[in-house]
Structure 1
Amino acid sequence: MIRQLLLLSCLLILTGCALAPSRSSVPAADAGHTIHLMRYGWHTALLFDGNDIRSRSPRLQADLRPARYILIGWGDGEYFVRDDAPWSKAVKALVNSDYPALQAGRRDSNPPLGVAPQDSLALAITSHGMDQLVAYIERSIALDAAGQPIYLGQQADHPDRFYRGNGHYSLFSNCNSWIVGALRAADLPVSGINLTAGSVFEQAQQIAALQQQMHAERQPALHAAQ
C-alpha cells in the first residue's frame, strides 16, 4: 500500500505535464451535442440529455425509463453500489477490488443533487464523438454467458441501475481514469495521466474555455453574414 501511494504521488506530479489542448483538436461549441462533466469531491461522472443517450444505447433504453438527464459513472463494485459503504470498502477498492461497476441513473436537474453549480461543466461533442462515447459506455458493461448484463444492487424502484463492469478497478484505474477514457472516446483532447477529479476537471475546463472562445469569435462573423 505504501509503495502504491508513493507511486501515486509521482504520477500526480506527472499530471502537471499534460499538454494544453490546441484549437484544432477541440470540437466547436455548436458541434451538435453537449455532455456535462460532474465533479463530486474526488469522484467524476458524466451527465447526458436523457433522450440523447437513450436513443443511442439499446441497453439503457431497455433498462431506464425516460428521464430529463441520465448520469453515468464507474467505480468499485462493492463500495460504489452501496449507499452506506464503510471506508474500509474504499480502502479495499484501491488495493484489492473484486470487480468494477457501472452506474446509470435518472436525474431531474443539472446539476443534480449533491453537485455544486461550479462542478458541472458543459462540453460540446460531435455526433461521431457521441456515438463513440455511448459505445465506450456499453463496452464497459460486463455480460454473462448468455450475453445479458450482470446487475448489481437494488433494481426495482432505485433511480440508479448498477451493472457489473468490465475492466479492473484499482488505485491506478479508478473512476477518474475511466472518465478520461470516455472523454477521449468522445474525441475530446484529454492528455497525460489523470487519476484525480481535479486533474480531469482542469483539462476539461481548458477545453470548455476554448470552445466558448471560438464560439464568441464566430458571433461577429455570423451577425455580419445576416
Structure 2
Amino acid sequence: MLRRLFRYFYVLLLSLLALLLLFVGLAWLLALLPANADAHPQSEGVAVYITTNGVHADFRVPVQTEVIDWRQLLPLRDYTGADSRFRYVAFGWGDQGFYLHTPQWSDLTPGTAARALFMPSPTAMHVTYYPHAPATGKDSRRLYLSPEQYRQLVAYIQQSFARTASGELLLIPGAGYSPYDNFYEARGSYTLFYTCNNWVNEGLQKIGVKTARWAPFDWGVMYHLEE
C-alpha cells in the first residue's frame, strides 16, 4: 500500500515538474518570437516608458498630452503626495490579492503566491504619479508613439479599469503603498497564463509595437525594446 502511494506521489511530482518545464519552455520560445516583427522604433512622438521592478512590468506615460489629461480621470485629490508638478503616471495591472497583501517582497506568503499562480483571481489597477520620467536602462525602455498609437494605448488602459454603471472608477480605499499611488478595481482575471506582464505585452501588440508573442515574465516584454 505504501509503495503504491509513494509511486502515485512520485508520478504526480514528475508530472508537475514536466508541466512546469513545458510552461517555462513555451514562455521562453514565444517571448523570443516577435509580434509586429516589421515595426520599427520611432524617433519622435509621445514618449512613454515600459518599466520593470525585475518581476512586474508597467506603463509610465505623460500626465498631460493633447490626447488626455489623466488628472481628469485620476484626480490629484486622491493622491495626497502628488501635485501639479508631477509629470508622469504609471499603470500596472495584476492580481489584486498579491498587490494588496504584498507591499514588500518580504510580505509574500506561500498562500498568496499559490493563489496568484494557480487560481483565476480578481485584479486591480495600480496607479502611481511620478514627478519625472525614469532613466532609461535595463529596467526602463522609452518608446515614441504616434498620436494615434497613444490614443489606442490610452483606450487600452482605460478599458482595463472596472467601472460602476455610471462609468466611475472603483477606488480601493486605503490600499496604496504611499501618498503617490492608489489601487482600483480592474477588469479581467489574473492567471498563470495571463499575468501582469501579459497585460503590458498585449497593450504593445495592440498599438503595433514590436514585442513578444506571449510574455508571462517581464523579460519577455523588455527583450524586444531598445535600451
In 1, Cα distance between the equivalents of 2:137 and 2:40? 23
Larger radius of gyration: 2
Change (3 A) 1:154 1:4: farther
On the 8 A contact 1:57/1:138 being kept in 2, the answer is: no
* Distance (Å, rounded) in 1 between the aligned partners of 2:217 and 2:193: 10
Counterparts in 2 of 1:77-156, with a 5 A limit?
77-82=96-101, 83-84=103-104, 85-88=107-110, 89-111=112-134, 117-154=137-174
Deviation at 1:57, TM superposition (A): 7.4
Aligned to 1:214: none
Alpha carbons 2:161, 2:184 under 8 Å: kept: yes
Q: What is the DSSP-based 3-state SS (H/G/I as helix, E as strand, rest coil) of the residue aligned with 1:203?
A: coil
The 4+ residue runs of structure 1 with deviation greater than 4 A are 61-65
Judge conservation of contact 1:54–1:61 (CA < 8 Å) in 2. Answer: no
Q: How many residues in Structure 1 have an aligned counterpart in Structure 2? A: 201
Q: CA deviation at 1:110?
A: 3.2
**1:6 deviation in Å?**
3.9
Give the letter aligned to residue 189 of structure 2: H
- Which is further off, 54-63 or 96-105? 54-63
Q: Which amino acid aligns with 1:140?
A: S
Distance 1:16 1:177 in 2: 10
1:132 deviation in Å?
Answer: 0.6
2:52 aligned with 1:33? no
1:190 aligns with 2:204: no
Q: Which residue of 1 aligns with 2:23?
A: 8
Which residues of structure 2 form unaligned runs of 5+? 1-14
Cα shift readout 1:178-221 (whole Å, capped 9, x = no counterpart): 0011212332122422111111101122xx6xxxxxxxxxxxxx
Inter-partner Cα distance in structure 1 for 2:109 and 2:173: 18
Q: Distance in 2 between matches of 1:16 and 1:147?
A: 35
Indicate the residue corresponding to 1:71 in structure 2. Answer: 90
CA root-mean-square deviation = 2.9
- Percentage identity across paired residues of the two chains: 24
Change in 2 beyond 3 A, CA 1:27/1:201: closer
Q: Given that residues 34 and 48 in structure 1 are in contact (C-alpha distance below 8 angstroms), is that contact kept between their aligned partners in structure 2?
A: yes
Change in 2 beyond 3 A, CA 1:189/1:117: closer
What's the counterpart of residue 73 of structure 2?
A: 59
- Per the normalisation by structure 1, the TM-score is 0.76
More helix per residue: 1 or 2?
1
**TM-score scaled by length of structure 2:** 0.76
